[in-house]
Structure 1
Amino acid sequence: MSFQIRFKMMTAKAASAAMAALLLASQTPGFAGSVSAAQAEQVTEAAPGENEQLDMTSNDVPEGAKISSKQASENILKLFPMLKKATITSAQFDPNNRFPPLEYKTWDIGFQITEGNHSMGFNASVHAGTGEVLSVHMPSDLLDKQLSDSEVKLTKDEVEEQAVAFLYKAIPGLKEDAYATLGDLYQTAGQQSLFGRTEYQFAYQLKHDGLLSEAETVYISVDQSGLVTGYSRMTTAAEYPSSKPAVPAEKARQQFEEQFDVELAYIKKNSLSSKQGQQYYLGYMPKDSSMVPLEANTLERFNAMTGKAITEDTVQQDKPLKGSAAAFVPANGQRLNAKQAENLVKKNFDIPEGYKLDYSQLNKGSYWSPNNQVWSLSWSNRNANMSYMFMRDISAQVDATTGQIYSYSLYQRMSPDAAEEKLAEEKEGKSVTRTQAEKLAIHSVIALVPDATEQFKLSSVLEVEDARTFIFQRYLNGIAVKDDLVQVQVLKDGTISEFYANLAATPEQLPASKEPAISYEEAKAAYLEEFKLVLAYSRYGGHGTSSGQVTPSGINLAYMPTRDDKSIYGSYEVLDANTGEWMSLYSTSSTAVQAAPSDIAGHVAEEAILNMNKHGVLIPDEQGRVFPDRVITRGDWFNYLARAVNPNLDLYYTVNGNDKLYADITAESPYYPAVRTLIDQRWLAGNDPEVNLNPQEEMTREELAVLLVRILRYEKLAGFYTLPSDLPNLVDANAVTNKGAVSLSMKLGLLPSIEGRFMPARKVTVAEAAQVLELLAQLQGKTDTFMTGSRLY
């Protein structure tokens, strides 16, 4: 379903697992991995007379496991022989450090890499029942060395061949028709950066008994040299039902067509754009209830989160908001201080006794409020029962200008083996009905969200064991706004444990006309023509809630709607209501830069500009132009360089409201994210609020040479080149002030001479900047300092 239920997880997710979440991946035992006879080697060799390091693994097989820790470590080393250079530091059976807990037993093997006084620790996991490796992510120390040593640069197709080969190696006995590819996940997550390792992550949906299974997914990361850098196998212990449906496909299709419906919606053109730069288009989307899987034996529509049949009272059909609560009125005065923000939260939510505000910070630049400042607040009770891991924490976000509360969360972070203390026990005997909970949720939305009764309707309700989550959809001009919603979670005792409001769209971002070129009937017919029903296994449950509970997990045999009969994830495209084209629902900045700039054909720097466009360094304007011969400013160069490190630079950053990096680089500056990135990389000198950086000044070739030397860490070396004779082949050597910087830039091929002259005062153009950045990228791995460490974002 398209609800964005914000269940919280205790364990930090790796980047690949975050991508997996977009595909609703889950966890299940699969094929047994074979046990390798290889012995784990130790990094540290004992010097004569010293005690050898103890082997942390053994051949013991504990109760509940079918393999030993030594077998588990050998299986890891078989897939990743480079880890023989690491030391095994721990072997833990069934570690109790995850929430929600896994449904099966695992071995967690700890590794460490040591170089001098520097060490890095990391873990890998193996299924203790099947012996199959479940997750390994190579440490950056090893990968950076591999990048420096390798001259290989494979194409994306060649990289994918390596991923497929590894898939068969990781799952012995896997048949060719036993999986389906989900492609390169980075295609929906932004560009590969120009600097650093080029890495691709591929996903594969596995089959059970010949049917695709939502519970069986593999993620493989491979870099441009063909090295597998990460592996993750999502699996579960839930029992599979029979693969033979009681209801034939024809009858399921008939019911699907009878229940299918679409609605007009405002949809973001670019899901990764900042709120300020976001634009929307009109599209037809299936209604949530239309894309719900059909249980293959009963044809009941069931909730993908709980596995329970969907009833009329859970799908509210856009119920208007009615209540006696006073409507939200924004503050109309001076900026709120931390105490005033705290009082607003206490006025609207029940802060339990004993909780004290222990953190407050004023931030600017958040997605919610790019033009205002926002208070981030948190409360904790350090006297709470120690069965809570870190106690129960409360957090909130409050707009310091308007007083609007964007989020509130009461989060019970309990350790899995601790005695579960429920809020219901603290308020013994108190319980609210569904109607009472709905009334509480509607009351909070009216009181806390601007224009709530005019813009929001109750669209659905999700019920789990201990809570109900009410989802409110936003409408503008009578049209739904995709992803603009409010969620309110009410516990069974009547406590509001979570409130979350996302109001991204503004009237000026919406298309001028609200009348679609394609009619409702045409859109519905187009969907029915395109969409198929695929018989597959659907996973549900296994999620941790903010109240500390875990939803039961299981597997259903289901007919699942999709546009591609080789995939069970077919609901991520929508129909443009004016062009009739199928659009990616979660399109990103990567799609925006794939088209070549419109004004570079035949330009001498065309190839370099195309490469910068591919990596998100150069962003064309709305007409597709980059103006290759335009002179750039220092600020332009800072932005190019920072995007070369992080192409999604403009999307995710937060700053302190009073932060000032330089006298002319404050939190409001359009160059702030780039300058902060370059300071973190040590490519600019440390911030100094009393010094001007002058980002508006046009960049000269000599200034660029100085900045390049800074990036390469050759400032001191450049100091040895101070004479005109250090630039023997330049007619204008006497005109160069920073002879060392110019000399090194020329020797490295970054800034070549022009007809025997360097022309230090000549201004740098967009095209020249693109060429320099491409040459700089080619130096990776060829110098002692440039991009040899892990990136900082």
Structure 2
Amino acid sequence: MSFHVRFKMMTAKAATAAMATLLLASQAPGFAGSVSAATAEQVTEASTGEDVLSVVNSDVPEGAKISSKQASDNILKLFPLLQKATITSANFDSPNSFPPPDYKAWEIGFGIREGNSSMGFSATVHAGTGEVLSVHLPSELLDKQRAEADRQVTEAEAEKLAEAFLYEAIPDLEKDAFLAISESYPYAVQQSLFGRTEYQYRYQLKHEGLLSEAETAYVNVDDQGRITGYSRGTIESDYPSSNPELSAEQAKKKFDEQFDVELAYISPDGFSSRKGQKYYLGYLPKSSGNGLDANTLNPINPMTGEEITSDSEQQDKPLKGSVAAFVPNTGQKLNASQAESLIKKNFDIPKGYQLDHSQLIKGYYASPNSQVWSLSWSNRNASASYMFMRDISAQVDAVTGQIYSFNVYQRIMPGTTEVEATEETSSKSVTKAEAEKLAVNTAIALAPDAAKQFRLSTVIEMDGARTFLFKRYMNGILVKDDSLQVQVAKDGSITEYYARVTATPEQLPTDAKPAISYEDAKATYLKEIQLILAYSRYGGYGMTNGEAVPMGIKLAYVPTRSENSIYGLYEVLDANTGEWRSMYGDLNSSSKTQPTDIAGHVAETALTSMIEHGVFIADEQGRILPDRVITKGDWFNYLARAINPSMDMYYGGDSDDKPFADITSDSPYYPAVRTLLDQRWLGGSDPEKNLNPQEEMTREELAVLLVRILRYEKLAGFYTLPSDLPNIADAGAVTNKGAVSLSLKLGLLPSIEGRFMPARKVTVAEAAQVLERLAKLQGKTDTFMSGNRLY
């Protein structure tokens, strides 16, 4: 799992601090997130029937302080709706993740049966304190109990319900012993137009009056005021004293002395893989954005908890190697066998491992605009369980031959002993200098212009491996998020290689001279930054080599621009405008653009709603162009974004995928078409059929598409006569009378002065009004958008 994904599981501050230090905002495959795990202490009982007593009981196993019966009672007390489900299992263990946390928990399984189908889910309770740690109610259960009342709670009302729930869920929680996390948090989730409205509130809890990065809570509240989900992050380790040995004044003085900034090319959509996005110039913290140990005032590595030393920070060391530079392939596109040969030429594939998967796919974060061979090797004859043995994966550009990643995953079952050394595991141990030389040579040999564009920035020392991190520079300026990573095991083998080299000269600003000087930028940062005393969390994750980094807590002075946040410095200073911008891009940046051309428009309310939900995206001039005629492709994009506002950023596909003759994976309409096909809102795909996304949309064509969304195609077939369109003067001009009739009856496409006008073209404003009306039908028809289920 990548850094990008894993850090979402951690607290935002730890993620941003580590990203700022290591320039791994997008991915760093060497650091694995949660994986399925089990231990020898597992105690499980399961039920196949209705007899709950055979599942939960009053026995308290060794290592626990509560029974499974107490755990289930605590869950049902908080979520009485779960009484509608059946308890199916009770499992006492470390929570199902690797590395396991420092506490044990009860995992209570629930099931819902309807006819011959069933589904299962689980909730977690701390086995020591009895505190409920996680519950997420499935839509199948929520939909059945959904009230028919039209009134919905407001966001402000939902927030009050969430805060009240915190006091109920966390025993002995003192008044104001938590802080709501700001909406400026970069991972804030945007509400979609379609689907159940659900608000998520995030809280940082306090320990002895200080914000604690290890104590978090997330509460989901739906539009009916029901708590639909809850999760709680906690830690068993003892907290250090809340009294620092050194003062805040001393900390600020030390921080100011060490703090520095550097100019960088930054993508405005750091989470996105959009093709051709432009970069801007900004100043970001160079290396001193980490918290300071409150007792020593030395910077803390948020990954290991150790003090950051000059030995680990390489100060942008130029690359000098003894190998030939990378030369891209200039011949035909590589096949799978040629891609495998490139991997074997540059990395060791242990004896017994066979290539068992190869697929040509569209690249993602490391190669968003490329065709990539995805390869994997495994050894199914290994002595241990296959799922807990090492396997190997790699990605190779099918055109240039550039290797984007190589990973040896060590999936060793917790509680078991690693397989003894074989031919593939040497007893030798390389020095740091030898490991660095190997890492540098690997970077030069595999990445384009690595010796000119990359510098060694950081070395992460672990017991089993060293990870070397490289930053990319163009025109002498840092390219944020472009990076190389090489992990060298203690025996000298490379267990991981990762390259993200995405920025091109065409994407960079033509003028590399910023309007704001370095001195002014640094002064602005220091003026804005304050240090707050808080508990900083570190560790708590696993490496791909099977090594676990333990979790811990330190008392620290944390740099921030807000006294109500311990997220660290996750904003950068625009080098030309002087504005603060999100360091990692903004999932909702498009929806926050203020339109310039909708004020006073008859459809202003609907247009505003579409912008707020991310359905419409303003152009570079901030225009929506409400009276522009839309195409079928425009409608597909609007409809898909109504389901998933972040569709444009994340939706990928296979390079050779061709759902329609005129829709390939490179089409600007591909993500939307794939989304709608998944929803069965476009019928089935047909590679020999044209979808004609460039054609302008008429009202009658829109009516047909609306009926398909509503699953009323067959019903529409019963309406074929002009009399089925009463009071419509131009009924004879309508071909699809059933679709038009139903669209009229449901109020989706009202008549215009007594006529339907089937050939009239649909504008952006009219599309906004139709989508708004369609959203109001959610849950009011038999087949469209019941709760969060998309049909």
TM-score normalized with structure 1 length = 0.92
Larger mean Cα displacement after TM superposition, 580-589 or 345-354: 580-589
What pairs up with 1:614-629 in 2 under 5 angstroms?
614-629=612-627
Larger mean Cα displacement after TM superposition, 182-191 or 323-332: 182-191
AA aligned to 1:88 is: I
Q: Check whether the contact 2:273–2:364 (CA below 8 A) recurs between aligned residues.
A: no
AA aligned to 2:353 is: Y
Aligned to 1:279: 278
Deviation at 1:96, TM superposition (A): 7.2
- Map Cα deviations across residues 127-158 of structure 1 (whole Å, 9 max, x no partner): 00000011111112123345574533222222
User: Using the alignment, how far apart are the partners of 1:86 and 1:646 within structure 2?
Assistant: 29
SS at match of 1:650: helix
1:233 aligns with 2:203: no
Deviation at 1:18, TM superposition (A): 9.6
User: Using the alignment, how far apart are the partners of 2:694 and 2:82 within structure 1?
Assistant: 49
1:749 aligns with 2:747: yes
- Map Cα deviations across residues 463-522 of structure 1 (whole Å, 9 max, x no partner): 122111111011111111111111111111111111111122221222221111111111
User: Using the alignment, how far apart are the partners of 1:426 and 1:579 within structure 2?
Assistant: 55
Aligned to 1:774: 772
User: Using the alignment, how far apart are the partners of 1:700 and 1:504 within structure 2?
Assistant: 40
Aligned length: 763
Deviation at 1:225, TM superposition (A): 2.3
Larger mean Cα displacement after TM superposition, 219-228 or 391-400: 219-228
User: Using the alignment, how far apart are the partners of 2:569 and 2:417 within structure 1?
Assistant: 41
User: Using the alignment, how far apart are the partners of 2:423 and 2:156 within structure 1?
Assistant: 57
- Map Cα deviations across residues 553-572 of structure 1 (whole Å, 9 max, x no partner): 22211111111122211311
1:557 aligns with 2:555: yes
Residues 404, 148 of structure 1: alpha-carbon distance in 2 compared, 3 angstrom cutoff: farther
SS at match of 1:489: strand
SS at match of 2:410: strand
One of 711, 714, 737 as aligned partner of 2:712: 714
Residues 247, 24 of structure 1: alpha-carbon distance in 2 compared, 3 angstrom cutoff: closer
User: Using the alignment, how far apart are the partners of 2:267 and 2:226 within structure 1?
Assistant: 36
AA aligned to 1:449 is: A
SS at match of 1:64: coil
- Mind listing any 5+ residue stretches in structure 1 that lack a counterpart? 26-41, 46-51
- Map Cα deviations across residues 214-273 of structure 1 (whole Å, 9 max, x no partner): 111111122222222211111112221111111122222211111111111111212233
AA aligned to 1:127 is: H
AA aligned to 1:614 is: E
Aligned to 1:437: 435
Q: Check whether the contact 2:396–2:403 (CA below 8 A) recurs between aligned residues.
A: yes
Deviation at 1:638, TM superposition (A): 1.1
Larger mean Cα displacement after TM superposition, 712-721 or 333-342: 712-721
What pairs up with 1:45-56 in 2 under 5 angstroms?
54-56=53-55
What pairs up with 1:591-610 in 2 under 5 angstroms?
591-610=589-608
User: Using the alignment, how far apart are the partners of 2:752 and 2:351 within structure 1?
Assistant: 74
User: Using the alignment, how far apart are the partners of 1:414 and 1:271 within structure 2?
Assistant: 33
Deviation at 1:412, TM superposition (A): 0.8
Aligned to 1:38: none
Residues 6, 643 of structure 1: alpha-carbon distance in 2 compared, 3 angstrom cutoff: closer
Aligned to 1:383: 381
AA aligned to 1:282 is: L
Aligned to 1:534: 532
User: Using the alignment, how far apart are the partners of 1:245 and 1:424 within structure 2?
Assistant: 50
AA aligned to 1:318 is: D
AA aligned to 1:608 is: A
User: Using the alignment, how far apart are the partners of 1:612 and 1:267 within structure 2?
Assistant: 28
Residues 308, 256 of structure 1: alpha-carbon distance in 2 compared, 3 angstrom cutoff: same
1:758 aligns with 2:756: yes
One of 322, 325, 328 as aligned partner of 1:327: 325
SS at match of 1:394: strand
Aligned to 1:396: 394
- The alignment yields a C-alpha RMSD, in angstroms, of 2.4
Q: Check whether the contact 2:613–2:645 (CA below 8 A) recurs between aligned residues.
A: yes
- Map Cα deviations across residues 290-330 of structure 1 (whole Å, 9 max, x no partner): 11221111222221111112221100000000001110111
Aligned to 1:411: 409
AA aligned to 1:235 is: T
User: Using the alignment, how far apart are the partners of 1:24 and 1:514 within structure 2?
Assistant: 27
Q: Check whether the contact 2:186–2:585 (CA below 8 A) recurs between aligned residues.
A: no
Residues 184, 199 of structure 1: alpha-carbon distance in 2 compared, 3 angstrom cutoff: farther
SS at match of 1:588: coil
Residues 197, 406 of structure 1: alpha-carbon distance in 2 compared, 3 angstrom cutoff: same
1:196 aligns with 2:182: no
User: Using the alignment, how far apart are the partners of 1:381 and 1:414 within structure 2?
Assistant: 14
Q: Check whether the contact 1:596–1:610 (CA below 8 A) recurs between aligned residues.
A: no
Q: Check whether the contact 2:365–2:500 (CA below 8 A) recurs between aligned residues.
A: no
AA aligned to 1:482 is: K
SS at match of 2:251: helix
User: Using the alignment, how far apart are the partners of 2:116 and 2:468 within structure 1?
Assistant: 53
- Map Cα deviations across residues 383-440 of structure 1 (whole Å, 9 max, x no partner): 1121563421100110000000111100011111221237699534210111111111
Larger mean Cα displacement after TM superposition, 495-504 or 147-156: 147-156
SS at match of 1:656: coil
SS at match of 2:390: strand
TM-score normalized with structure 2 length = 0.92
AA aligned to 1:238 is: S
Q: Check whether the contact 1:7–1:543 (CA below 8 A) recurs between aligned residues.
A: no
SS at match of 2:165: helix
Aligned to 1:39: none
Residues 382, 135 of structure 1: alpha-carbon distance in 2 compared, 3 angstrom cutoff: same
SS at match of 2:647: coil
One of 701, 704, 707 as aligned partner of 1:703: 701
Residues 660, 5 of structure 1: alpha-carbon distance in 2 compared, 3 angstrom cutoff: closer
Residues 448, 150 of structure 1: alpha-carbon distance in 2 compared, 3 angstrom cutoff: farther
AA aligned to 2:107 is: D
Deviation at 1:382, TM superposition (A): 0.5
Deviation at 1:176, TM superposition (A): 2.3
Larger mean Cα displacement after TM superposition, 340-349 or 514-523: 514-523
Aligned to 1:253: 252
User: Using the alignment, how far apart are the partners of 1:223 and 1:96 within structure 2?
Assistant: 27
Deviation at 1:23, TM superposition (A): 6.7
User: Using the alignment, how far apart are the partners of 1:503 and 1:205 within structure 2?
Assistant: 35
1:345 aligns with 2:343: yes
1:58 aligns with 2:60: no
AA aligned to 1:164 is: E
1:635 aligns with 2:629: no
- Map Cα deviations across residues 99-126 of structure 1 (whole Å, 9 max, x no partner): 1112111000000111222211001100
Residues 502, 422 of structure 1: alpha-carbon distance in 2 compared, 3 angstrom cutoff: farther
Aligned to 2:39: none
User: Using the alignment, how far apart are the partners of 1:82 and 1:107 within structure 2?
Assistant: 20
Aligned to 1:122: 121
- Mind listing any 5+ residue stretches in structure 2 that lack a counterpart? 19-46
AA aligned to 1:213 is: S
Residues 340, 711 of structure 1: alpha-carbon distance in 2 compared, 3 angstrom cutoff: same
Deviation at 1:615, TM superposition (A): 1.1
Residues 499, 324 of structure 1: alpha-carbon distance in 2 compared, 3 angstrom cutoff: same
1:678 aligns with 2:666: no
SS at match of 2:141: helix
Larger mean Cα displacement after TM superposition, 349-358 or 15-24: 15-24
What pairs up with 1:28-177 in 2 under 5 angstroms?
54-95=53-94, 97-146=96-145, 149-177=148-176
Q: Check whether the contact 1:489–1:496 (CA below 8 A) recurs between aligned residues.
A: yes
Larger mean Cα displacement after TM superposition, 605-614 or 783-792: 783-792
Residues 433, 792 of structure 1: alpha-carbon distance in 2 compared, 3 angstrom cutoff: farther
Deviation at 1:44, TM superposition (A): 8.4
Residues 17, 73 of structure 1: alpha-carbon distance in 2 compared, 3 angstrom cutoff: farther
AA aligned to 2:445 is: A
1:305 aligns with 2:312: no
AA aligned to 2:74 is: N
Deviation at 1:524, TM superposition (A): 1.3
AA aligned to 1:167 is: L
Q: Check whether the contact 2:778–2:787 (CA below 8 A) recurs between aligned residues.
A: no
